[in-house]
Amino acid sequence: MGNKNISMAVIRRLPKYYRYLGDLLERDIQRISSKELSDIIGFTASQIRQDLNNFGGFGQQGYGYNVDALHNEIEKILGLDKKYNAILIGAGNLGQAITNYTGFKAAGFEIKGLFDANPRMIGLKLRDFEIMDSDNLEEFIEENDIEIAIICIPKNGAQEVTDRIVKAGVTGIWNFAPVDLEVPSHVIVENVNLTESLFTLSYLIKDNR
């Protein structure tokens, strides 16, 4: 695919565009100006024009953006039209919450199995899944063509599991463990670091008190 030189700052704004454009479609709004988009999304109209220019000319002077076409294009750019098989490792509280997370479908991620290392968790049912023994990760990844792993285990052990699943073929990791995973360059890691977010909140509140 192209778009290699779009900055990560722009990419991280795309989900927001996608969400608001989806809202507009639900309300059956078919065209919108950068000014109106700006009022809704909160970015400046000039930033919006600049961002969307990265993906070709969806805006026309005096017409605005075609909402449906733009929504489709962002969907493709984000790869949301692709399907990925995923597993979740660590079926504790957070893992269970993530398993029930409804956003996977929109992203084309399908969870195929849950794993845990704790003997008391193995065999339990969660939604349609029976929690499997982490010992069998490699076999499952290879047999089910798993590309994505969602890591919801504590800090200790996260790197070891990562090494194993990467060796077995995983190329994308959604990491909730508070640790910087080391991976080969062909593997993508996206971190959700709750502590960093919470500390940022703490900082902002303190300065605001």
Binding site for a second copy (CB under 8 A): 1, 3-4, 11-12, 14-16, 18-19, 42, 77-80, 82, 84, 92-94, 96-97, 100-101, 103-104, 106-109, 147-148, 171-172, 174, 178, 180, 186, 188, 190, 192-209
For residue 101, the minimal CB distance to a second copy (Å) is 6
Nearer to a second copy, 14 or 135 (CB): 14
Least Å distance, CB 61 to a second copy, is 29
- Which of residues 119 and 205 has its CB atom nearest to a second copy in the complex? 205
Q: Are 140 and 113 in contact (CB under 8 A)?
A: yes
Closest CA to 92 of 129, 136, 148, 131: 131
Element (H, E) at 16: helix 8-26
Shortest CA distance to 118 belongs to which of 92, 87, 100? Answer: 92
CA distances from 139 to 73, 83, 167, 187 (A): 37, 21, 11, 19
Closer residue to a second copy in complex, CB, 3/53: 3
Rounded Cα–Cα distance for residues 53 and 68 (Å)? 16
Nearest distance, CB of residue 47 and a second copy, angstroms = 16
Q: Please state the closest distance from residue 204 (CB atom) to a second copy, in A.
A: 4
